[in-house]
Amino acid sequence: MARTSSIQNKMMLLVLIPLLVWLGAFELVPVLRMIAMSFQNNDGQGFTLGQYVKGLTNPLYGKAMLNSLKISFISSVAGLIIALVCSYSITRFTTKLRDRMIMISNMITNFVGVPLAFAYMILLGSNGMLTLIGKELGIRSIAGFDLYSEAGLTLTYIYYQVPMAILLVYPLYNGIREEWKEAAAMLGASVWSFWRHIGIPVLLPGVLGTFSILMANALGAYATAYALTGSNYNLLSIRISALVSGDIFPNFQLGSALAVILAVIMIASLVINEWMASLSRRRGL
Amino acid sequence: MSYVRIENINKSYQQQKVLNDISFSIEEGQFLTLLGPSGCGKSTLLRAIAGLNEIDSGSISVGDRNITALPSKERQIGMVFQSYALFPNMTVFENIAFGLKMDKMKKSEYTPLVEEMIALIDLKGKENRYPAQLSGGQQQRVALARSLVKRPKVLLLDEPLSALDAQIRRSLRTEIRLLQKRLKMTTIFVTHDQEEALTVSDRIIIMNQGRIEQEGSPEDIYTHPASEFVARFIGSYNVLKRSDIGLDSLPDTELFAVRPEVISIAPLAEAPVAELGTATIEGKVEQLYILGNVIRFTVSAGGLDILVDALNNSTVHRIQEGMDVRLFLPADKCEPLRQ
């Protein structure tokens, strides 16, 4: 009996080998190489913290970090607010409509990168459909909208943050039980009092967790921003790309250090998410 | 005048009547149970009294106040839900204090009231626990305390014990009854459990398909079921036709309910002659179960299965499965049923 079980375990490990090879070759080795390179000098030799010092003190990269954080923060907050309202309204639909809305959100979540940038160019580019309509109708805010600016970039970020936020926030509303609302009403609470004292506190850990995922999602975004602004807008992901592939003076070591800094920021977001989730689990939410 | 008056309540969902002209009243301090099978309308009625369900017509009054059109929070009614409905982000103390906070009471005012309630439900030392850290029975006690702390005029209990295991159910129902008596709280309790209803209630209303089938004291309901539905629902009554019993002295109805314990059983070979006013039925013992101090026989007689409960003593030990027996049914124990 024990022998059969041991053979079964070995067979299971055998099945895992392709996955382990894949993870090692395309995840672990590149990450380890990147970390190792981030501690090397520009010639790829020795051990130095110089790349990190440069990454954190150089105004160009400092500004890139700030821009990345700013655009990620604004798009995450806006996306989250829109998703909170939309998800709540989805919970009020019929099951059939609800399933369709979630399916559409799922689909839109994957509509990112160059196709998304192209779609926005068609709509709000210099000769975009909405831009031309705005010009025709004399609506200056639309006619004069610059898609290739920070505002344009924020708009596209919000666009892809919303469906992802809906997918993450929608299940949270299922956790709000109708009996809580009824019990609160029986105890003298208004609808607002219910949300203030019960609904929002119950949702909050999940909402903050969602926010951290959105932040990580936006911080790592590259293709949409690059397709829209090239390297004209200073984002950390674009700077890393320029250092490892696009610059006439590539510096893999500095690029690696910036990538590690970006990864640390994203991991910090995810750690906050896990902490919030464990807080919820402890309270049985 | 009665304390709670429910008058001519009607309610339909998608043209299906779920409450059909329901009227009854409750005296102050009374414990009334709405008893019936799932889907009979008892919970809908309770929720209508709470103001959580709208009604199509009728009126609800508590004391001298007509509360029919009032929202839940203005009805001064407390409710305990089947699923407890405790707020998971609040501790035991905060859950109990919530209603008082909504009444704009200051912390210094409500703290002693909440502490008193916590002592009453025997949860001292667990004030700072969250609901997820409590057992089902403890959670239900917190839910009860949360409703009682506001001193509602009427307390509604919507199957509060059905999510608990049998042992905790039994102890908690006794606790609820003692608490209700102590606080003299007018209470309406909803359950589908006959034993629970008979144990705790001052009065029982049996509902079926949105109507009241019978109301009365537990003794009344148990000993004098008014209809075939009540007889079958309330216990293991035998429902027999006049022709099955075959006595002329029976009241003028077609159906009768006979409790298993009023029927005597004897082996056919040694059976005595029936006394005047006692019907006899002959049959064969199909099954025999020992239920502790009682033995239950299922006797097959002319296409009928008659249940007989006899005390577990040496007199009935002679009776075995497959044996021919004679049953004795006293006429005065045959309850006439409305059809």
Domain of residue A93, CATH code: 1.10.3720.10
- When divided into structural domains, chain A yields a total of 2
Q: Is residue A44 part of a domain?
A: no
3-class SS of residue B9: strand
Q: Is residue A70 part of a domain?
A: yes
| A196/B contact by beta carbon, under 8 A | no
Q: Quick one: A30 and A127 in the same domain?
A: no
Q: Quick one: A19 and A155 in the same domain?
A: no
Residue carrying the six token digits 């203005």: B74
Q: Quick one: A91 and A13 in the same domain?
A: no
pLDDT confidence of A38, banded at 50, 70, 90?
Answer: very high
CA distance B160 to chain A (A): 13
- What pLDDT, on the 0 to 100 scale, is given for residue B245? 84
Strand partners of residue A4: none
Q: Quick one: A200 and A266 in the same domain?
A: yes
Residue B128: closest CA among chain A residues belongs to which residue?
A: A283
Segment holding B62, helix H or strand E: strand B57-62
- Report yes or no: A202 and A36 within 8 Å, Cβ to Cβ: no
ipTM: 0.82
Are A197 and B88 inside 8 Å of each other by CB?
A: no
CA distance B132 to chain A (A): 5
CA distance B287 to chain A (A): 45
Q: Quick one: A231 and A275 in the same domain?
A: yes
| B265/A contact by beta carbon, under 8 A | no
Q: Per residue in A83-138, pLDDT tens?
A: 999 999 998 889 899 899 889 988 888 888 888 889 989 999 888 899 999 998 98
Residue A182: closest CA among chain B residues belongs to which residue?
A: B52
| B102/A contact by beta carbon, under 8 A | yes
Q: Is residue A150 part of a domain?
A: yes
Are A186 and B77 inside 8 Å of each other by CB?
A: yes
- Report yes or no: B220 and B51 within 8 Å, Cβ to Cβ: no
Residues of B in contact with A183 (CB under 8 A): 79, 81, 85-87, 143, 146
Q: Is residue A45 part of a domain?
A: no
Residues of B in contact with A283 (CB under 8 A): 88-89, 130, 132
How crowded is the C-beta side of A275, counted as CA atoms within 13 Å?
9
Q: Quick one: A143 and A270 in the same domain?
A: yes
Q: Quick one: A24 and A126 in the same domain?
A: no
Q: Which residues of A131-168 are buried (b: 16+ CB within 10 A; e: fewer)?
A: beebeeeeeeebeebebbebebbbbbbbbbbbbbbbbb
3-class SS of residue A1: coil
Residue carrying the six token digits 């505002």: A151
Q: Quick one: A86 and A6 in the same domain?
A: no
Are B87 and A197 inside 8 Å of each other by CB?
A: yes
Q: Is residue A46 part of a domain?
A: no
- Report yes or no: B108 and A219 within 8 Å, Cβ to Cβ: no
Q: Is residue A223 part of a domain?
A: yes
Are B146 and A197 inside 8 Å of each other by CB?
A: no
Q: Quick one: A32 and A130 in the same domain?
A: no
Distance between CA atoms of residues B266 and B326, nearest Å: 6
B234: exposed, middle or buried (Cβ count in 10 Å: 0-12, 13-18, 19+):
buried
Q: Quick one: A263 and A127 in the same domain?
A: yes
Residues within 8 A of B (CB atoms), A 246-285 only: 282-285
Percent of chain A with pLDDT over 90: 49
Residues of B in contact with A205 (CB under 8 A): none
Q: Per residue in B179-231, pLDDT tens?
A: 899 989 999 999 999 989 999 999 999 999 999 999 999 999 988 898 989 99
User: How many residue pairs from chains A and B have C-beta atoms closer than 8 A?
Assistant: 75
Structure tokens at B103: 């009444």
Q: Is residue A217 part of a domain?
A: yes
Helices and strands of chain A, counted as H and E runs = 15, 0
Domain residues for the domain of A128 are 51-284
Q: Are strands B65-66 and B77-80 parallel, antiparallel or unpaired?
A: unpaired
Q: Is residue A43 part of a domain?
A: no
Q: Quick one: A230 and A259 in the same domain?
A: yes
Q: Quick one: A247 and A275 in the same domain?
A: yes
C-alpha angle A169-A170-A171 in degrees, rounded to nearest 5 = 95
| A191/B contact by beta carbon, under 8 A | no
Residues of A in contact with B71 (CB under 8 A): 185
Q: Per residue in A41-97, pLDDT tens?
A: 988 888 999 999 999 999 999 999 999 999 999 999 999 999 999 999 998 889 899
| A183/B contact by beta carbon, under 8 A | yes
Are B150 and A285 inside 8 Å of each other by CB?
A: no
Structure tokens at A136: 């025709």
C-alpha angle B297-B298-B304 in degrees, rounded to nearest 5 = 145
Q: Is the pLDDT of residue B326 over 60?
A: yes
Q: Per residue in B38-80, pLDDT tens?
A: 989 999 999 999 999 999 999 999 999 999 999 999 999 999 9
Q: Which residues of A216-238 are buried (b: 16+ CB within 10 A; e: fewer)?
A: bbbbebeebbbbbbeeebbbbbb
